[in-house]
Amino acid sequence: MTREERVEKMAATLLEAEKRGTEIDKLVDQYPELDADLAYQVQDRLIEMKCHAENARIVGFKLGLTSVAKQKMMGVHEPTYGILLDSMQWPEEQPLPLTSLIHPKVEPEIAFVFKHEVRGPGISVPDILEATEYVMPALEIIDSRYRNFSFTLADVIADNSSSARFILGGAFFRPEQLDLRLMGMVFRKNGRIMATSTGAAVMGHPARAIAWLANKLGEAGKSIRAGEIVLSGALCAAAAIEEKDVFSVSFDGLGSLTAVFAHP
């Protein structure tokens, strides 16, 4: 098989798993040559296929594994990114059905929306803050296509960093109105506190994760474009979701956001 044929096969396997809602074995078991670079090619092809299948368009990016809490939880110690499509966005008010998902989890994040393009290399925290139109609370619903939510770095990259859905909050703030580093966060499941954290849990400053993305994209001649959304990565461990659960995140100065999951 040529490299292109393998990329095609891996992307099709992941898309099929998502469509059917069934777990698959890690791709590295069958393709030991899968490394991070090849995995980003698989991710790109998977996104092309999804855009075509769902008549969807790209609206931004998500960071993965940008906090120590998440890296420990998943046993992967480097950040990754994935691509967000409009078909993944869910409105806050509407109960989200779990029926098409495999083993979904939810995690609190900070969303950045860009007023102008950011292109690496050499991007740092002040560049990100200057280019950001506003920040808002976000909840990401992740759903690894791999058995038992277990994967290597390359596997999770190929799987678009486990992305499934995302919900954005109604409060918009300019980044200079907040101290994103010291901004406290409370994450609740059915009213009970699951975790507390601060912005600094994400690489010391959430904008540092976004700068990492801009620099990583820059290596491939890509950029974050005006109007795009970028999710920072979770500030704490993800929580498994069951039907009828209600999760919320509150940020100091940035308001809160609730995710309601549908009845069976």
CA atoms within 13 A on the CB side of 162: 31
Q: Does 162 bind ligand OOG (CB under 6 A)?
A: yes
Which 67-96 residues touch ligand OOG, going by CB under 6 A?
A: 70, 74
Among 18, 140, 143, 155, indicate the residue that binds Mg ion (CB under 5 A): 140
Which 199-228 residues touch ligand OOG, going by CB under 6 A?
A: none
Question: Binding segment for ligand OOG among 46-54, 93-101, 155-163, 167-175 (CB under 6 A)?
Answer: 155-163
> Which C-beta is closer to Mg ion: that of 140 or that of 143?
140
Query: Looking up tokens 């777990």, which residue turns up?
Result: 23
Q: Is 77 helix (H, G, I), strand (E, B) or coil?
A: coil
Determine the Cα–Cα distance for residues 86 and 78; give it in Å rounded to an integer.
26
> Which C-beta is closer to ligand OOG: that of 120 or that of 206?
206
Per DSSP, what are the bridge partners of residue 140? Answer: 107, 166
Determine the Cα–Cα distance for residues 261 and 47; give it in Å rounded to an integer.
26
Q: Which among 259, 248, 256 has a CA at the least distance from the CA of 96?
A: 259
Q: Which H or E run includes 129?
A: helix 125-131
Q: Does 197 bind ligand OOG (CB under 6 A)?
A: no
Q: Total residues at the site for Mg ion (CB under 5 A)?
A: 3
Q: Total residues at the site for ligand OOG (CB under 6 A)?
A: 15
**Which listed option, Mg ion, ligand OOG, none, makes contact with residue 143 (CB within 5 to 8 Å by class)?**
none
**Which listed option, Mg ion, ligand OOG, none, makes contact with residue 197 (CB within 5 to 8 Å by class)?**
none
For residues 126 to 145, the per-residue mask of contacts with ligand OOG, x marking binding by CB under 6 A and - elsewhere, is --------------x-x-x-
Torsion (CA) 41, 222, 143, 57 in degrees, nearest 10: -100
CB burial of residue 241 (10 Å; 0-12, 13-18, 19+)? buried
Q: Is 143 helix (H, G, I), strand (E, B) or coil?
A: coil
Q: Does 106 bind ligand OOG (CB under 6 A)?
A: no
Work out the number of other CB atoms within 10 angstroms of the CB of residue 28. Answer: 17
Q: How far is the CB of 65 from Mg ion (least distance, A)?
A: 8
Determine the Cα–Cα distance for residues 132 and 130; give it in Å rounded to an integer.
6
Q: Does 60 bind ligand OOG (CB under 6 A)?
A: no
Question: Binding segment for ligand OOG among 6-14, 156-164, 174-182, 183-191 (CB under 6 A)?
Answer: 156-164
Determine the Cα–Cα distance for residues 251 and 241; give it in Å rounded to an integer.
21
Question: Which stretches of the chain bind Mg ion, using CB under 5 A?
Answer: 107, 140, 234
Question: Which stretches of the chain bind ligand OOG, using CB under 6 A?
Answer: 62, 64-66, 70, 74, 107, 140, 142, 144, 156, 161-162, 233-234
